[in-house]
Chains A and B, each alone.
Chain A
Amino acid sequence: MSVVTVQLGQCGNQIGYEVFDTICRDLHNSQGFCCKRENEVYQASCKEHFFNEERSGVPVARALLIDMEPKVISQTLLKAARSGRWKYGQHSHFCQKQGSGNNWAYGYSVHGPKHEESIMNLIQKEVEKYDSLRGFSTIMSMAGGTGSGLGAFLTQNLRDAYPNSFIINQIIWPYGTGEVIVQNYNSILTLSHLYRSSDALLVHENDVVHKICAKLMNIKQISFRDVNQVIAHQLGSVFQPTYSSEGSCQYRRNPLGDLMASLVPHPEFKMLGLRNIPQMSENSLSYTTFAWTGLLKHLRQMLISNAKMEEGIDWQVRPPLLGLPALEKVPHNKESHFNTSIANLVILRGKDVHSADLGGFKDPALYTSWLQPSDAFSEWRTHRAFNKYEKSAALVSNSQFLLKPLDTVIGKAWNMFASKAYVHQYTKFGIEEEDFLDSFTVLEQVVASYCNL
């Protein structure tokens, strides 16, 4: 029934907190726009997924907090305790005295092996609390040293220790000009290692979310907290309960497993992107009404034109005409920047949700030829509105969404690697030039695969 959230490093812990806080606020949201009984079922299902019930009545997040320095964890615990709505478990954190210093090698080769036992024990104890375990969801940045290096190490360990559980890694993609200079090295090392052991990588790009804060949420001075709240909203919009099937009033038992089953048909393709609509400030929300047709028309165009948000969508992009020989199809694709999909999942929440028509997403022209369109597209729905939006839609897509960001990161890392700059910092902790080359090879392969869809 349950998924353990593992919050790693500063970024993972700060975002993890916002996720649970958002979910908890949604839980108590009176404007669910649905009937009372339905709301109660929804709440029960949500609690079952994300919280342990404690005698005190305060829900306890099914999460573990892990960082190698103490400040972030103590801040995070404090914030949760102060919220009064929910809290973290008393013994559900692990920290040390100093972080990995943005050094992937330090997180992976030093902190990892050194604390493997303690951390795996902590996870084991948490898992024992549940009657059944569905999987793990880690939240981590790939630019630092702890979330990325230790995160990659732990993911491997989880894979070995829990071979039948799903592992999804929530990856925070660094800003282009970043907070960390060696971010591209850390990123390629993280991605290549996760590609071996994770089931899916759900990517959140800081630049994109930042832009959403500026353009859609209308925030003037944007803090990490603002960014994290948007990410939390996006995650909640996927993982909050939905009906298990059309017309059913039962909530989905295993959303993580269902998500993998629908979106990751082949281990070479596990980079998932996320798009949401609508996203706006509470102010604008109060005098805006939405129709499903409009929302879904936008969302579909965001998908095929690879728009990162509702604003600035290129309406010229159209799916290629089917039946044309492949040779002609390719240049046409390039020209119009059509985004080819492997599989898509659309999640709809709110009023009149059953009237929403998702036909536009089932067009075979949107997908590669090797999956049946019926297998390539899935939909989840619920009447219960999410997070103040009367109607909202989320799209999780296994498509060429991340091709360009990935190609850019590899390119930058490769440029730096060609000069050997900073490499000595990694070899000091056992990550050799060979290891870099292996990572480059793995990821160039991924790029090539997505390119050739």
Chain B
Amino acid sequence: MAQSVVVQVGQCGNQIGRCFWDLALREHAAINKKGIYDDSLKNFFRNVDTRRNGDGVDISKGKIRSLKARAVLIDMEEGVVNEILQGPLKDIFDSKQLITNVSGSGNNWSVGYKVFGSQYRDQIVEKLRQTAEHCDCLQCFFIIHSMGGGTGSGLGTFILNVLEDEFPEVYRFVTSVFPSGEDDVITSPYNSVLAMKELNEHADCVLPIENESLFDIVSRINQMVTSGKPGTTVKPESLITLNEGGIKKKLQEKPFDTMNNIVGNLLLNLTSSARFEGSLNMDLNEITMNLVPFPQLHYLVSSLTPLYTLADVNVPPRRLDQMFSDAFSKDHQLIQADPKHSLYLACALLVRGNVQISDLRRNIERLKSALHFVSWNQEGWKTSLCSVPPVGHSHSLLALANNTCIKPTFIELKKRFTRLYKKKAHLHHYLQVDGMEESCFTEAVSSLSSLIESYNELDVTKGLPIHDPLRLNIVI
């Protein structure tokens, strides 16, 4: 079985990464009862005998000794990474996997990309190589970062380039937290648009995330818990308001943790069929093969259902089919988007647990008439069945949509960029960085425009009558 390496960059990347590793350990602990280092563990973890010379030697079989995450942690501040090293996960990382600085990128993409990029390039390559050398078949890099800040956005996309140069054969999957409307970082539109150009050109596939959506999902889970019975409407004011206060309070205690767990689960479910057995496996290389019809159109909108599998809560399970319906609804998407009313280029359903092929087929039949698919991919469904359910639950579903519903996010981003750029606001912070020129901005925004245009061209075909092209004529 192949292996994956997680590259977590910047504050957001590392905070999400921490949640991911915590969940990954928990999942394997629940499934791997015998404490044997097996192929599925090997996907994300090394097994190391630390008692031997310094770095430790990889043990390929037998009992679990000491698990080490296949990860590189990078931040140009040291706060979050240090916290991780002092926290409960400290044993799965060691100093050889880290790159930190103390100054941060000051919410400036060009500081991350240009300054730290050139300064740390060699170090980054070396750590990536070391991590890669521990794999016998490295299949995929998972980059986790935010688009709005300086480090994750700038250095994160710099690393994307490095990966393409150094490991051209290895997939690059990027989990990107897009800034929301009321983002606290003023320069986030600049950073995001500059980063978008890199994602357009160098990622194999991108999973965009919006904090607003994560927040809404967390609220809904809490609501479900406090309302007792799922599906019954809660009386106005009383519970919900109390509840939302509860979340806010919780968020202040441990900012982002519950939200980041959702992203952690996204990565777990995305890789579950590659790690565990099932009657219809889906390896990571199948994701791009099925969901990316044209190289640039590689943005996938994701949703995870049932919601209660995302939190440690016990809610009586609902009808299986509800899980499928919810996956297409607006409020289960990890970005603010409505796939149902936009155009699908392709759609994947990754199922875990006690679900069979007939359940998949029934639900596809049931749901497909309400969805719009592009004319040349009317049956654009990819499915997988992994027999190992998420910890503590009987089944779950991850839906990935290559859908034009992502377009509004990009248009909104461009609008906010243009608003700043028209006034040349904060521009000098960028232009004073070596190698940054105005052309970087114009090229970045035109890259975004052409992406939006590609989605436009697809959107106009929606609802048009479909004409089958003439077939080859055989004369006999």
Residue numbers of A with Cβ under 8 A of B are 10, 14, 69-72, 75, 97-103, 106, 145, 175-182, 210, 213-214, 219-225, 227, 410-412, 414-416, 418-419, 421-422, 424-425, 437, 440-441, 444-445, 447-449, 452
Interface string of B374-412 (1 = CB under 8 A from A): 011111111111000000000000000000000000000
Q: Which residues of chain B have C-beta atoms less than 8 A from A419's C-beta?
A: 375-376
Query: Is A10 a contact partner of B283 (Cβ separation < 8 A)?
Result: no
Q: What residues on A are CB-neighbors of B292 within 8 Å?
A: 425
Asked if residues A210 and B379 are in contact (CB atoms below 8 Å), the reply is no
Instruction: Evaluate contact between A103 and B379: CB separation under 8 angstroms.
Output: no
B376 adjacent to A415 (CB under 8 Å):
yes
| Chain B hits for A421, CB < 8 A | 293-294, 376-377
**A221 x B285 contact (CB < 8 A):** no
State the CA gap A66–B36 with chains docked (Å).
26
Q: Can you show 13 pairs from A to B with CB atoms below 8 A apart?
A: A69-B283, A100-B285, A221-B356, A223-B279, A224-B356, A414-B471, A415-B469, A416-B376, A421-B294, A421-B377, A425-B289, A440-B472, A448-B474
Residues of B whose CB lies within 8 Å of any CB of A are: 1-2, 39, 136-137, 139, 276-277, 279-281, 283-286, 288-295, 346, 356-359, 361, 364-365, 368, 375-385, 468-469, 471-474, 476
Nearest opposing residue in chain B for A101, CB measure: B285
Inter-chain residue pair count (beta carbon < 8 A) = 143
Q: How far is the CB of A176 from chain B (nearest CB, A)?
A: 7
A98 touches B376 (CB 8 A): no
Cβ–Cβ < 8 Å partners of A220 in chain B: 358
Q: 10 shortest A-B CB distances, which residue pairs?
A: A101-B285, A222-B358, A97-B137, A421-B293, A419-B376, A418-B469, A223-B356, A181-B290, A224-B279, A177-B379
Point out the residues of chain A lying under 8 angstroms from B468, CB to CB: 411, 414-415
Say how far B28's CB is from chain A's closest CB, in angstroms.
16
Contact of B346 among A181, A223, A447 (CB under 8 A): A181
Interface residue from B281, B289, B376, B474 paired with A103 (Cβ < 8 Å): B289
A167 shortest CB reach to chain B, Å: 26
Residues of A within 8 A of B472 (CB): 414, 437, 440-441, 444
The residues of A that contact B288 with a CB separation of less than 8 Å are: 101, 425
Residues on A with C-beta less than 8 A from B358 are 210, 213-214, 219-223
Contact of A98 among B276, B280, B283, B377 (CB under 8 A): B283
Complex CA–CA separation, A221 to B136 (angstroms): 39
CA distance A99 to B357 in the complex (A): 21
B2's partner among A97, A176, A424 (CB-CB below 8 A) is A97
A225 surroundings in chain B (CB, below 8 A): 279
Q: Are A224 and B377 in contact (CB-based, < 8 A)?
A: no
Q: Decide yes or no: A177 and B476 within 8 Å by CB, A224-B279, A421-B377 being known contacts.
A: no
A412 to B381, CA, bound (A): 14
Q: Is the CB of A227 within 8 A of B476?
A: no
Q: Are B294 and A176 touching (Cβ within 8 A)?
A: no
Q: Of B281, B295, B474, which one neighbours A10 at CB under 8 angstroms? A: B281
Closest to A220 in B: B358
Q: Which residue of A lies closest to B40 (CB)?
A: A71
Are B381 and A70 in contact, with the CB atoms below 8 A? no
Nearest-CB residue, chain A, relative to B278: A71
A206, closest chain B residue (CB): B357
Across-interface contacts of B471 in A (CB, < 8 A) = 410-411, 414, 444
- From residue B345, how far is it (CB to closest CB) to chain A in Å? 8
CA distance A172 to B145 in the complex (A): 42
Q: How far is the CB of A424 from chain B (nearest CB, A)?
A: 6
Report the minimal beta-carbon distance from A451 to chain B, rounded to whole angstroms: 10
CB pair B290–A102 under 8 Å, yes or no, is yes
Extra contacts besides A99-B285, A416-B377 (15): CB < 8 Å? A69-B281, A71-B39, A102-B290, A106-B285, A178-B383, A220-B358, A223-B357, A224-B280, A412-B378, A415-B375, A419-B376, A441-B474, A444-B471, A444-B473, A448-B476
Interface of A is mostly: helix
CA A219 – CA B136 in complex, angstroms?
Answer: 43
Among B276, B281, B476, which residue has its beta carbon within 8 angstroms of that of A452? B476
Residue in A70, A411, A414, A441 whose beta carbon sits within 8 Å of that of B39 in the complex: A70
Residues of the A chain whose Cβ atoms lie less than 8 Å from the Cβ of B368: 177
Residue in chain A with minimal CB distance to B349: A179
CB of A186, distance to nearest CB on chain B (Å) = 10
CA distance A220 to B320 in the complex (A): 14
A71-B281, A101-B289, A103-B285 known; A449 vs B476 contact (CB < 8 Å): yes
A210 contacts B291, CB within 8 Å?
Answer: no
A222 to B149, CA, bound (A): 49
Given B136, B283, B294, B474, which contacts A445 in the complex, CB threshold below 8 Å? B474
Residues of A within 8 A of B361 (CB): 175, 177, 210
Q: Which of A97, A179, A214, A424 contacts B1 (CB 8 A)?
A: A97
- Cα distance, A14 to B357, chains bound together (Å): 14
| Docked-complex contact B375 and A176, CB < 8 angstroms | no
Whether B474 and A210, one on each chain, are in contact in the complex, defined by CB atoms closer than 8 angstroms, is: no
Contacts of B289 in A (CB 8 A): 101-103, 145, 182, 422, 425
Which of A70, A106, A181, A424 meets B377, CB within 8 Å?
A181
Q: How far is the CA of A273 from the CA of B434 in the complex (A)?
A: 69
Nearest residue (CB) in B for A214 is B358
User: When chains A and B are docked, how far (Å) is the Cα of A71 from the Cα of B136?
Assistant: 16
Alpha-carbon distance A449/B381, docked complex (angstroms) = 32
Known: A177-B381, A415-B375, A449-B476. A72 touches B281 (CB 8 A): yes
Residues of A contacting B137 with CB < 8 Å? Answer: 97-98
Inside 8 A of B283's CB, which chain A residues have their CB?
A: 69, 98-99, 101
Question: What's the minimum C-beta distance from A188 to chain B, rounded to whole angstroms?
Answer: 11
Contacts of B365 in A (CB 8 A): 177
Chain B nearest CB, measured from A164 CB (Å): 31
Give complex CA distance A42, B361 in Å.
40
Given known A-B contacts A99-B285, A416-B376, A179 and B277 have beta carbons under 8 A apart: no
A448 to B295, CA, bound (A): 35
Taking CB atoms, residues of chain A closer than 8 Å to B359 are 221
Say whether B357 contacts A178, CB under 8 Å.
no
Chain B nearest CB, measured from A128 CB (Å): 31
CA distance A418 to B467 in the complex (A): 11
In the complex, the answer to whether B286 meets A101 with C-beta atoms within 8 Å is: yes
Q: Is the CB of B469 within 8 A of A414?
A: yes
Provide the residues of chain B in CB contact with A106, threshold 8 Å.
285
Shortest beta-carbon distance from B273 to chain A in Å: 9
Using Cβ atoms and an 8 Å threshold, which residues of chain B touch A213? 358
Nearest-CB residue, chain B, relative to A186? B289
Do A180 and B382 contact each other (CB < 8 Å), given the known contacts A98-B137, A210-B357, A452-B476?
yes
Contact B376 A418 (CB under 8 A): yes
**Complex contact A179–B376 (CB within 8 A):** no
* Distance in angstroms between the alpha carbons of A447 and B137 in the assembled complex: 43
